[in-house]
C-alpha cells in the first residue's frame, strides 16, 4: 500500500504516534521494519526536561492514562542520535514542542537542519502545565506557532491538535491558513484522573494525565470528521486505532494516514503489519482503495492535496 504524502513516498499508510517507541534510531527502525510507514520521534523540547515522576502510565483496560511529562534531553543535546539517523533507510517525523512561539521556531529551525522528512508541532499535550495545549485550544495562538515555524523551515509541517479544543475544525483551519502542510488529530484526551480508593490518592504522580486507546476512538473519529469539513490539506487520523476496521473507519472520516500508539501495548510491535493486512483484506473484500474511501462518510469526497503543493 504505497502512499504519497507531502512529497515523500511511504510504503504503508500507518504512522507511529509520538511518545511511543520513538527514543532512538534502533527502535524507530524496528517499528518501520514491522510495517510502519512513518515513525515519529519522541517530542523534542527547548531545554532538558526530566518529565514527571513514576507512576506515569496506567493501563485501564480499554485504554491508558499517562502523564510522562514531555521528557527530553533538549534539542541541543541530541547530536549522537542525529548522527545515527543520518544513514537511515526510513522516513522520520520529528515531533517538537515549546513553551512559547519563539521556542517552537527556534527548535524547529535547528531540527530542520538535521534532515527529518517532516516536523510535527505538538501544540496539544494535556499533561504539562506550561507546554502544548495552551496553543492548541486557540486559533490565534495556533496560527502564530505554525506561521513562525513555516518562516524558518521548508520541511513539511504537521500541526498535532487536541480534542480539548472547543471547535477543532476552526483550529485546523487556522493552522492551514498559517501554512501547515497537514494536520494530525488527535493527541490524548483529557486530562483525566484515577484515584486509588484504598490509598485515597490519585494514582499518577502528576495526578492527572491524557487518555489514549480504544476508549477515545469515537472522539478521534468525530474530530477528524470535523477537520475534514474545514481543510483541504491531508489529515493523519490518530486516537484509539487498534485494528484494520478502526483504520478504515477513521479514513472514512477523512484521514489520509492512520496513526497508532497505544495499540502497540495491546497487540505488540507487529501491530503495524497486522493492521496493514487487515486494511488490505477489507479493501479487497469491498473492491475499493484507500483513495476511494477517504472522507466517504461525508457523503461526497473532496480533493485533498497529498503532495503538499500550495
Mean pLDDT for the stretch of residues 275-290: 97
DSSP state, 279? H
DSSP state, 310? -
Give per-residue pLDDT as tens, 109-161: 999 999 999 999 999 765 555 555 678 889 999 999 999 999 999 999 999 99
According to DSSP, the residues that pair with 159 across neighbouring strands are: 121, 183
Rounded Cα distance between 120 and 175, Å, is: 12
pLDDT at residue 190, as a whole number: 87
Q: Which of the residues 125, 175, 184, 223 is marked catalytic?
A: 125
125 a catalytic residue = yes
pLDDT at residue 136, as a whole number: 85
pLDDT at residue 21, as a whole number: 77
Exposed/middle/buried for 33, CB within 10 Å: 0-12, 13-18, 19+? middle
Helices assigned H by DSSP within 133-243: 133-136, 139-150, 168-178, 217-230
Q: In terms of DSSP bridges, do strands 235-238 and 257-260 run parallel, antiparallel, or are they unpaired? A: parallel
**Contact, 307 vs 7, CB < 8 A?**
yes
pTM as predicted: 0.93
pLDDT at residue 232, as a whole number: 97
Amino acid at each position: 500500500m504505497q502512499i504519497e504524502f507531502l512529497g515523500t513516498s511511504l510504503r504503508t499508510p500507518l504512522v507511529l504516534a509520538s511518545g511511543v517507541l520513538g527514543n532512538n534510531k534502533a527502535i524507530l527502525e524496528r517499528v518501520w521494519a514491522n510495517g510502519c510507514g512513518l515513525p515519529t520521534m519522541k517530542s523534542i523540547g527547548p531545554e532538558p526536561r526530566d518529565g514527571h515522576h513514576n507512576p506515569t502510565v496506567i493501563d485501564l483496560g480499554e485504554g491508558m492514562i499517562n502523564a510522562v511529562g514531555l521528557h527530553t534531553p533538549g534539542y541541543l543535546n541530541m547530536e549522537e542520535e542525529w548522527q545515527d539517523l543520518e544513514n537511515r533507510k526510513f522516513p522520520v517525523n520529528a515531533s517538537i514542542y515549546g513553551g512559547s512561539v519563539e521556542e517552537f521556531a527556534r527548535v524547529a529551525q535547528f531540527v530542520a537542519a538535521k534532515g527529518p522528512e517532516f516536523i510535527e508541532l505538538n501544540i496539544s499535550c494535556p499533561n504539562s502545565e506550561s507546554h502544548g495545549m495552551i496553543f492548541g485550544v486557540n486559533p490565534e495562538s495556533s496560527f502564530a506557532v505554525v506561521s513562525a515555524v513555516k518562516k524558518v523551515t521548508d520541511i513539511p509541517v504537521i500541526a498535532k491538535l487536541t480534542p480539548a479544543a472547543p471547535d477543532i475544525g476552526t483550529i485546523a483551519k487556522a493552522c492551514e491558513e498559517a501554512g501547515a502542510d497537514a494536520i494530525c488529530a488527535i493527541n490524548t484526551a483529557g486530562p483525566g484522573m484515577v484515584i486509588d480508593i484504598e490509598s485515597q490518592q490519585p494514582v499518577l504522580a502528576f495526578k492527572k494525565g491524557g487518555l489514549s486507546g480504544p476508549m477515545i476512538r469515537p472522539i478521534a473519529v468525530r474530530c477528524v470528521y470535523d477537520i475534514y469539513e474545514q481543510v483541504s490539506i491531508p489529515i493523519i487520523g490518530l486516537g484509539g486505532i487498534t485494528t484494520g476496521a478502526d483504520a478504515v473507519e477513521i479514513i472514512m472520516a477523512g484521514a489520509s494516514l492512520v496513526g497508532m500508539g497505544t495499540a502497540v501495548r495491546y497487540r505488540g510491535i507487529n501491530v503495524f503489519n497486522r493492521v496493514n493486512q487487515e486494511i488490505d483484506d477489507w479493501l479487497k473484500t469491498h473492491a475499493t482503495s484507500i483513495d476511494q474511501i477517504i472522507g466517504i462518510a461525508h457523503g461526497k469526497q473532496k480533493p485533498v492535496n497529498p503532495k503538499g503543493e500550495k
